[in-house]
């Protein structure tokens, strides 16, 4: 495909600035790489983009920084604010992190022991599910199955303590998920959501959807 | 060394942790300042605005849901503050800025080239872009925001982000041409 013969700018050419900063999805980056390899004019235009990138960075870096008064001003304003009410709508990941950060060492030790027991019980339960999965051929998609545990798109999940074996099985089946590794520290499991890599935005959307399921205690994206 | 993530800092700020606020400020205030400065083009205004931006972060931390990166969220707040400040700016100040641009453009191309190398001319052209074009170029090239993130910050569809970036770069080529540098594009 010759991307630069068209009078109007092409889809690939539009992506060049983001390719230069490395913020494209793997799929789009590959499309651009392929086009660049076969189109010298596009490659020349990409060199222009890289030049613009370098000079934009330099321009911004020469803008200097605000004075130390900026922080003083900010904290003077914060001091003038009314007393803070307890936060109620933090996202789940932050709540989990803050929950553990807020516990005293003694409380944390007791909680950790109780959690360890729960995790062990759940680990056995999920191990059973994984064995069943493998003997039944797994929850692999029809296209391009892979036995490589490192291939695909993954999330880290901790299942809710009250989730039963049936709940977890149904959850994995319904969402075409595969337990790739675990349990790891903290009762976390690495779960494959796709057999191929996904753009960050797509993975974030999947995580957001899965987070709504009552079976999920904690979920985050991972490499 | 492990550093506390921005998301954890925001959670702590939501609970009233001033130290977390200091850490977040130290981590991001220079970039936020530069983003605002490129929009308002006035150092004193930009400095005032960043304390307003971070005050909003302090106030709204409890409502942050993690749907975007913290830096993306902060740039959205910064953009809103900068545009509000521009709307309040006295007309006299805007006229001065326009006059400066007219004077700059009247440079003889050969003189300009003799005085500056190509890179310097390119930086000068970047400074002459409209606020709308400067904003998108900075978000993509300097703040390394994806198409989706720029769309979120600016409040436009992803397709418009790509088109706007294309026209910003096209304008850049035109400005370079005025200074005697023909890039052969578009």
Q: Are residues B105 and B141 in the same domain?
A: yes
pLDDT at A61 over 90: yes
Q: Are residues B59 and B114 in the same domain?
A: no
Name the pLDDT band for A112 (thresholds 50, 70, 90). low
Q: Per mean pLDDT, which range of A61-70, A160-169, B21-30, B174-183 is the poorest?
A: A160-169
Q: Per mean pLDDT, which range of A32-41, A213-222, B69-78, B155-164 is the poorest?
A: A213-222
Kindly report the average pLDDT of chain B as a whole number: 87
Name the pLDDT band for B101 (thresholds 50, 70, 90). very low
Q: Which two tokens stand for residue B132?
A: 């709308």
CB contact at 8 A, A222 and A167: no
Q: Which two tokens stand for residue A70?
A: 């900026």
Residue A110's pLDDT is 55
Residue B25's pLDDT is 96
Measure CA of the first residue to CA of the last residue in chain A; give whole Å: 32
DSSP E strands in chain A: the ranges are 153-159, 178-184, 188-194, 216-222
Residue A207's pLDDT is 84
Nearest CA in chain B to A207: B67
Q: Does A63 touch chain B (CB under 8 A)?
A: yes
pLDDT at A100 over 70: no
Domain at B105, CATH number: 1.10.10.10
Nearest to B143 by CA among A203, A56, A169, A174: A56
Of A20, A56, A78, which is closest to B142 when you measure between CB atoms? A56
Name the pLDDT band for A211 (thresholds 50, 70, 90). confident
The arithmetic mean of pLDDT across residues A58-76, rounded, is 92
Residue B19's pLDDT is 93
| Cα(B165)–Cα(A113) distance, integer angstroms | 55
- For testing the chain B interface, which of A47, A49, A50, A94 should be mutated: the one with the most B CBs within 10 Å? A94
pLDDT at A47 over 80: yes
Complex-level ipTM: 0.86
Kindly report the average pLDDT of chain A as a whole number: 75
Partner residues linked to A222 by β-bridges: A154
Q: Which two tokens stand for residue A216?
A: 């999920």
Per-residue model confidence as pLDDT tens digits over A179-202:
887 776 556 778 888 888 888 888
Measured between beta carbons, the chain B residues lying within 8 angstroms of A47 are none
Domain at B22, CATH number: 1.10.1740.10
The arithmetic mean of pLDDT across residues A29-58, rounded, is 95
pLDDT at A205 over 60: yes
Q: Are residues B5 and B24 in the same domain?
A: yes
Interior angle at CA A212, CA A211 and CA A214, nearest 5: 95
Q: Are residues B84 and B108 in the same domain?
A: no
Sequence ranges of the domains in chain A: 11-61, 92-222
Nearest CA in chain A to B43: A66
Most confident of A97-101, A119-123, A184-188, B127-131: B127-131
Of A20, A23, A70, which is closest to B47 when you measure between CB atoms? A70
Measured between beta carbons, the chain A residues lying within 8 angstroms of B7 are 91, 93-94, 97
Q: Are residues B110 and B170 in the same domain?
A: yes
Contact B144 A45 (CB under 8 A): no
Measured between beta carbons, the chain A residues lying within 8 angstroms of B144 are 21-23
Residue A89's pLDDT is 47
Q: Which two tokens stand for residue B163?
A: 């088109």
Name the pLDDT band for B105 (thresholds 50, 70, 90). very low
Domain annotation covers residue B184? no
Q: Are residues B3 and B84 in the same domain?
A: yes
Of B33, B123, B183, which is closest to A66 when you measure between CB atoms? B33
Q: Between chain A and chain B, how many beta carbons pairs sit less than 8 Å apart?
A: 149
The arithmetic mean of pLDDT across residues A14-27, rounded, is 96
Contact A98 B15 (CB under 8 A): yes
pLDDT at B151 over 80: yes
Name the pLDDT band for A125 (thresholds 50, 70, 90). low
Give the residue from B45, B72, B89 where a domain finishes: B89
Domain annotation covers residue B114? yes
The arithmetic mean of pLDDT across residues A84-88, rounded, is 56
Reported as type and span, the H/E element at residue A45 is helix A40-61
| Cα(B113)–Cα(B179) distance, integer angstroms | 7
Most confident of A78-92, A96-110, A125-139, A157-171: A157-171
Percent of chain B topping pLDDT 90: 76
Residue A5's pLDDT is 45
- Restricting to A residues 91-130, those with a Cβ less than 8 Å away from any Cβ of B are 91, 93-95, 97-98, 101
Number of domains forming the structure of chain B = 2
Give the residue from B33, B54, B89 where a domain finishes: B89
Contact B62 A21 (CB under 8 A): no
Give the residue from B64, B89, B114 where a domain finishes: B89
| Cα(A19)–Cα(B162) distance, integer angstroms | 12
Domain annotation covers residue B183? no
Q: Are residues B107 and B37 in the same domain?
A: no
Percent of chain A topping pLDDT 70: 62
Q: Which domain holds residue B59?
A: 1-89
pLDDT at A138 over 50: no
Nearest CA in chain A to B121: A55
């Amino acid at each position: 495909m010759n991307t630069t013969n068209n009078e109007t700018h092409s889809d690939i050419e539009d992506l060049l600035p983001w390719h230069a900063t490395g913020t494209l999805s793997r799929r789009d980056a590959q499309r651009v790489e392929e086009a660049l390899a076969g189109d010298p004019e596009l490659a020349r235009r990409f060199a222009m983009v890289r030049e613009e990138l370098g000079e934009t960075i330099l321009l911004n870096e020469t803008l200097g920084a605000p004075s130390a008064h900026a922080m003083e001003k900010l904290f003077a304003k914060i001091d003038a604010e009314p007393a803070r009410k307890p936060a109620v709508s933090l996202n789940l990941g932050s709540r989990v992190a803050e929950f553990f950060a807020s516990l005293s060492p003694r409380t944390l030790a007791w909680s950790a022991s109780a959690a360890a027991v729960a995790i062990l019980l759940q680990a056995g339960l999920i191990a059973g599910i994984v064995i069943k999965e493998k003997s039944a051929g797994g929850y692999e998609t029809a296209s391009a199955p892979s036995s490589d545990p490192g291939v695909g798109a993954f999330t880290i999940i901790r299942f809710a303590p009250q989730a039963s074996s049936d709940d977890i099985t149904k959850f994995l089946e319904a969402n075409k998920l595969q337990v790739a590794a675990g349990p790891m520290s903290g009762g976390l499991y690495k779960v494959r959501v796709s057999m191929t890599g996904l753009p960050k935005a797509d993975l974030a959307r999947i995580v957001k959807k899965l987070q709504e399921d009552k079976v999920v205690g904690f979920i985050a994206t991972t490499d | 060394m492990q550093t506390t993530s921005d998301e954890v800092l925001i959670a702590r700020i939501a609970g009233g942790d001033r130290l977390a606020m200091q850490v977040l400020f130290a981590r991001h205030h220079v970039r936020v300042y530069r983003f605002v400065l490129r929009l308002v083009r006035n150092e004193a205004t930009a400095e005032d605005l960043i304390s307003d931006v971070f005050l909003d972060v302090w106030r709204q931390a409890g409502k942050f849901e993690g749907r975007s990166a913290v830096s993306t969220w902060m740039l959205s707040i910064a953009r809103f503050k900068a545009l509000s400040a521009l709307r309040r700016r006295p007309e006299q100040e805007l006229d001065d800025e326009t006059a400066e641009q007219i004077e700059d453009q009247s440079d003889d191309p050969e003189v300009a080239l003799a005085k500056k190398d190509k890179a310097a001319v390119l930086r000068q052209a970047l400074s002459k872009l409209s606020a709308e074009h400067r904003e998108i170029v900075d978000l993509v090239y300097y703040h390394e925001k994806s198409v989706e993130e720029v769309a979120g910050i600016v409040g436009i569809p992803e397709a418009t982000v790509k088109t706007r970036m294309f026209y910003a770069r096209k304008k850049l080529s035109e400005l370079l041409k005025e200074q005697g540098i023909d890039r052969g594009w578009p």
